[in-house]
Structure 1
Amino acid sequence: MDDKNLNSMTDELWRSAILPPDATIEQAISNLDQLAIKIVLVVNEQDKFVGTISDGDIRRGLLKGLGLNSQIKNVTYRKPLVVPPDMGRETVLQLMTVNKIQQIPVVDESLQVLGLHLWDNIAIQPTRSNLMVIMAGGKGTRLLPYTENCPKPMVMVSGKPILEHIIERGKLEGFSHFVLAINYLGHMIENYFGNGENLGVQIDYLREQSALGTVGALTLLDHKPSDSFVVTNGDVITDIRYGDLLDFHNRYNASATMAVRLHEWQHPFGVVLTQDIEVVGFEEKPIARSHINAGVYVLSPDALNELALNTACDMPSLFERLKDKSKRIIAYPMHEPWLDIGRPEDLYWANTNEV
């Protein structure tokens, strides 16, 4: 099985590994045998994470006199190591190594299971032939004065350009062919990265003669890609699993997929709820939650049919065009660390925190 199918399959496995506390030990054994990921995730009726079950837990239960029809709540390990959704990949890998474990559930503050880190999936580098396009042509006016004589993607974060962080992350995910769309001070980007040989990747360039927006530069591609490809803004540093995003897109046969991130904003004042002139309720500093565009996408080759050569277009506009043509556009909820370096305060935060 190739890496692409393996990654897609792994993304689905953890969902199949979920059993309720009243399932039988026999069901757990069957689950472990069929999925071969050496773990069962126990989740109750309220969709709350209860614990995990391994072969060892079952053996110990049977040695104590439990039978195959006994409920798995009797063998559930209730204090397993879990990680939050925003924990970086390298930290997870370190935890696995130190604790000598091969599986770590991803659980949020409300005890909802969001995923499962598997050693084979996180430690073994996949190989992907898909393109990864990075939009690196913007002027970065909000980041002045840092971008006065420097293209925004070349601004330094933790000792290296933003763009280098993105390429290294993509390489970690198995991508080896990158296309950089450049315009403002683009020669500085070309002089730094060249053909990508120093980073062990292939780098080609789309040279915009004028600003073409966050997607218009794709019309400059010499050949339409034969497979779906990743597109990311050149100012986004994130631990997103680009490969998982790509597999998600392919699994749902979408024309375009947008990575989205939950954003919370707390109102600074108490809110009065009214109906006409009547006061009907109060909310003390309510929290509003919405999904925001994370600036990372996957496009199928057919999506490029909606673009006109050398004509500016932004990604939301492309999504609108695809929607009007009844093409499938979907959202990929991401939970990994993410930072859009658009303002000086964002750059300061990035350089004073671990990135």
Structure 2
Amino acid sequence: MKAIIQCGGRVRRLMPYAMVLPKPLMPVGSRPVLELLIGWLRRNGISEVIITTGYLGCLIKTLFGDGSAWGISISYTEETEPLGTIGQLSLLRDILDEPFIVLNGDVLTDLNLSRMIGFHHRMEAAVTIATVARQTKLDFGVLDGLPNACIQGFREKPHLTHFVSMGIYCLQPSVIRYIPREVPYGFDDLILRLLAHRAPVFSFQHDGFWLDIGHTDDFRKAQELSCNDLPPAFETMGELEGTSVA
């Protein structure tokens, strides 16, 4: 199975760091996020990776090359113009002829990818989205009840729990026909279009470790970690033949 790692975006939330390095090269301990991610994919049985590049993509290509140092095959695409969060797949329409993984290049997780892929096949899903529970604290008191009616309850600055996308997806190749060629297109656009066509879209819940380095709070958490602090799924990542880009 192929994995597509999306590394073409530029996140202003991480300025000024992102002026020097693309998100996937932000360090966690002594290693870039992307190196840990590639190691995680290899440990989950993925042998072929396609990295979509854009902003500062030359740095990624220089550091990771063809992937042989990590025992994995790496090839690249390049956006001449931003294509949104899923539009890059239109560049790969001719080579994605079996189910494949798409993931953001700035996530860290110990998700069991094999279980997710197995779930995707059992459900005969068009798309399976890895999800995790996240809490959001509201800075306001929340009233329960209808407007202009008797108040039924009051919650002071509650924490609300939502299941959010982890930025990791399993897709059928038939999904690509819904993505327009070489124009900006978001993952939200794709999912809404699939739902409108009653395509089977499933979520796969993960209860373990997950950080999205593109968000400031998670980036700060990552800086507090050393590679020894990461979950066991990361223990030997990036250490094949003693090699590291760091």
TM-score range (shorter-chain normalised) is: 0.7 to 0.9
Q: 1:309 aligns with which of 181, 190, 202?
A: 181
Alignment match, 1:196: 67
Q: Which residue of 2 aligns with 1:320?
A: 192
1:183 aligns with 2:54: yes
Q: Does structure 1 retain, via aligned residues, the 8 Å contact 2:10–2:23?
A: yes
Deviations 1:55-91 (A, max 9, x none): xxxxxxxxxxxxxxxxxxxxxxxxxxxxxxxxxxxxx
TM-score norm. by structure 1 comes to 0.60
Q: Give 1:1-355 correspondences, 5 Å limit.
A: 130-221=1-92, 223-267=94-138, 271-275=142-146, 276-283=148-155, 285-353=157-225, 354-355=229-230
Q: Unpaired runs of 5+ in structure 2?
A: 231-246
TM-score (norm 2): 0.85
Quote the Cα distance in structure 1 between the aligned partners of 2:202 and 2:212: 21
Cα separation, 2, equivalents of 1:349 and 1:303: 35
Q: Which moved more, 1:272-281 or 1:133-142?
A: 272-281
For residue 59 of structure 2, what is the amino acid of its counterpart? M
Letter in 2 for 1:263: R
Structure with higher Rg: it is 1
Secondary structure of 2:184's aligned partner: coil
- What is the RMSD computed on CA atoms of the aligned residues? 1.8
Partner of 1:46: none
Q: Residue 132 of structure 1 contacts residue 179 of structure 1 at CA under 8 Å; is this kept in 2?
A: yes
Q: Runs ≥4 in structure 1, deviation > 4 angstroms?
A: 266-270
Instruction: State how far apart, in whole Å, the 2-side matches of 1:161 and 1:268 are.
Output: 34
**Aligned-residue offset at 1:282:** 3.4
Cα pair 1:257 1:299 within 8 Å, conserved:
yes
The one-character-per-residue Cα deviations of 1:253-289 (angstroms, maximum 9, x if unpaired) are 1111111111223445654434424233334554422
Shift of the 285–177 alpha-carbon distance from structure 1 to 2, 3 Å rule, reads: same
Residue 212 of structure 2 contacts residue 219 of structure 2 at CA under 8 Å; is this kept in 1? no
Provide the C-alpha distance between the structure 2 equivalents of 1:221 and 1:270, rounded to a whole number of angstroms.
48
Task: Provide the rounded CA distance (Å) in 1 between the counterparts of 2:144 and 2:88.
Answer: 47
Q: Give me the identity figure in percent.
A: 31
Offset of 1:293 from its aligned partner?
1.4
Structure scoring higher RCO (CA < 8 A, sep ≥ 6) equals 2
Count of aligned pairs between the two proteins: 226
- The verdict on how the C-alpha distance between 1:324 and 1:148 changes in structure 2, with shifts beyond 3 A counting, is same
CA distance in 2, matches of 1:346, 1:287: 18
Q: Distance in 1 between matches of 2:153 and 2:106?
A: 42
